[in-house]
Amino acid sequence: MKTPQYITAFRTVSVAITLAFILLLLLGDALGSLAALVKGA
Amino acid sequence: MIRFLLGNFYLIALQAGLFFGFFMIARTFWLTLWGQAKNPQQFLPSMLYQPKQYQDEKLQAETKRLGVPVPRPGEFPPDLAWPLYTFRQAGIDKKAVRANLLAYHKRLWTWPVNTFFKRRYGKHRWPWWVLLFPVPVSVLSFLGGAFLVSWASYWVYWGLLTASWWLDHTVIAVLRGQLRAREGRRRKGKHTAAACMKCLHVTPWPAYACRTCGERHHDVMPSDLGTFFRKCGRCGTTFPTLPSRAAWHTRAVCKRAECQQELPDGTGAVRDIRVPIFGAVAAGKTRFLYSSLNSLQQDLDRARVKWEYLDEPSRKTAEDWISRMQADKVDKTQDGPATAISMRLREGTHADFIHLFDAAGEQFSNPGNWTLGYGNQETNAGSLRFLEDGQALAYVLDPFSVDSIREQAASRDPSLLSRVTIAGMDPEVSYTEVLTQLRGLGVPVESQRLAVIVSKADLLSGAGLAVPFDSGDIARWLASNGVHNVTMGAPREFREVRYFTVASLGVSIGRAHDPGVPLRWLLAAHGVKVPGGDALLAKPARRPVGASA
């Protein structure tokens, strides 16, 4: 049976929030490391 | 720079692993929740929690709780509709993502663990840790980073879904409760309990059939099956919850399995007033019904209020009787099933449904008719069930059946009695008979209004008797002529009693003895906006019955 739209919507929102949150953390960490690298170099 | 990179290779591997962990969780989500896995052995898609599973789960729980198989006769299983995401699906998704992520990590860690720790690919493992030391460190740093980010992401996802579940079980559950309570108050104040025109069965609201597939939904209040909207479990059509909204997006159907009559749009959402008429044989009940109906219709036409009969039998019967009454060719009502005349005043959400019931006088004296259960008959139209479910009562009293009044009339016009059909039963007896039965059946008459209608006022006036118009004057006039049980007992039994003298012929709307006035009063008392007529009589003395504070 086709997945109802409201289930897809719930999944999309929860996954999007999770990934956005983690991506922000990762980018923050990567940029911080890069800055440290540039400073160190 | 190169020296820095070579010196910090494990940090670079760790950083790359962090991003790979992000890729892992994103891939797991995609393959699990959107079911796009090319190899289902590696990523099992999350299963859908189907409406049938919800139905079975609820039935099993209820069977266990009660210790008897459910649904029992006359009960309905839970409706076939998609449950809320947080009810079970969120839990299933969490488990599926966790299982797939775990399996993904197992596959990823197999080679490094076997190589660096278990000697599965060679006799010795020391070369890895002595000669090729940077390799295992880099690989393990990379995998460690991936592990950290992927599982951190999973727990963020788990936390989000758990928070949604908690929110649904607290704040949104309260909201659903509020919606149900508000709807309940609205329904009570507006008298929206729905009557089936075929079997006269009255329920708080009818079953609502999906307009696409016809699946019956028996309880459309906000629940696990939807807060604001519900999705049909058979075809996926979405429609609003709450009977006041669902009634306009579905087809209303009588809930009784034996009936299943389709009901008009808006049933269960709009005001639905049932007025049973009772009285002795030949008291003038039928004449009163159709003359009051005719008066109301003329009034509505004059005020340009749209009205129509709710079903074809109502239209045919009413038109036939009104034309016969206007030609003064009214016969005695046949001793058969009760007649129900159903009308709609206005359209859309402002509509009011009115049902007037009339049965031959003999029906009230037949004890078998007071069995209000459905038994094995196809419909209950032959019984007096309509009396049990009425919100207001109209009692028709033939003044000629009161000895004192009859004698006064005969003394003034000796030929009058030969021209009048007189009710065979004493009015006090016919009133007490019905009231005793209603009390015995537990009908809450104390919350109802009673209109005592003295019929044949035109004949009394024609004989030269002074017939009062005012309710209090009529009560005193009846009491002075010996009608004590009704005039003294009724005000104690009912919430409000008013007296009317009516004529069925040659009466103008809003004038003395207008038969429409008692009907307008009963309807207005329950919140029906009826135009014109005697404003004083039509206006309820107090707030409509059941209206919220």
For residue range B31-69, list pLDDT tens digits in order. Answer: 999 876 566 677 888 899 999 999 999 999 999 999 998
CB contacts of B18 in chain A (<8 Å) are 26, 29-30
* Yes or no, beta carbons of B15 and A2 under 8 Å apart: no
Q: B50, A11: Cβ pair inside 8 Å?
A: no
Domain with CATH 3.40.50.300 in chain B: 271-537
Segment (H or E) for B251:
strand B251-253
Q: Shortest Cα distance from A21 to chain B (angstroms)?
A: 8
Binary contact (A33, B33; C-beta < 8 A):
no
Mutate to test the interface with A, among B149, B151, B167, B213 (most CBs of A within 10 A): B149
**pLDDT tens digit sequence for A1-41:** 688 999 999 999 999 999 999 999 999 988 887 888 788 76
Of B18, B85, B93, the CB nearest to A6: B85
DSSP track, B158-220: HHHHHHHHHHHHTHHHHHHHHHHHHHHHHHHHHT--EE-TTT--EESS-EEE-TTT--EES--
The 3-class SS string of chain A reads CCCCHHHHHHHHHHHHHHHHHHHHHHHHHHHHHHHHHHHHC
Contact between B1 and A6 using a beta-carbon 8 Å cutoff: no
- Average predicted confidence (pLDDT) for chain B: 85
- List chain A residues with CB under 8 Å of B158: none
Selected residues 13-32 of chain A with any CB under 8 Å from a CB in chain B:
14-15, 17-19, 21-23, 26, 29-30
Summarised one tens digit per residue, pLDDT across range B216-271 is 999 999 999 999 999 999 999 999 999 999 999 999 999 988 888 999 999 999 99
pLDDT of amino acid B434: 86
Q: Looking at chain B from residue 405 to 444, which residues have their Cβ under 8 Å from any Cβ of chain A?
A: none
A41 near B CB under 8 A: yes
Q: Residue B383: what pLDDT?
A: 62
CATH number of B271-537: 3.40.50.300
Which ipTM score applies to this complex?
Answer: 0.92
B355 to B322, B464, B548: CA distances (angstroms): 16, 36, 23
Does A2 reach chain B within 8 Å, measured CB to CB?
Answer: yes
Cβ neighbours of A15 in B, within 8 Å: 29, 33, 157
pLDDT bin (cut points 50, 70, 90) of residue B535 is very low
* B384 pLDDT above the threshold of 80: no
- The number of angstroms, rounded, from the C-alpha of A4 to the middle of its chain's C-alpha atoms is 25
Mutation for B interface: A2, A15, A19, A21, most B CBs within 10 A: A15
Q: By CA distance, what is B94's nearest residue in A?
A: A11
| pLDDT level of residue B275 (50, 70, 90 thresholds) | very high
Q: What is the pLDDT of residue B371?
A: 59
Please choose, from the candidates B388, B337, B399, B396, the residue with its C-alpha nearest in 3D space to the C-alpha of residue B366.
B337
Interchain proximity B29–A4, CB inside 8 Å: no
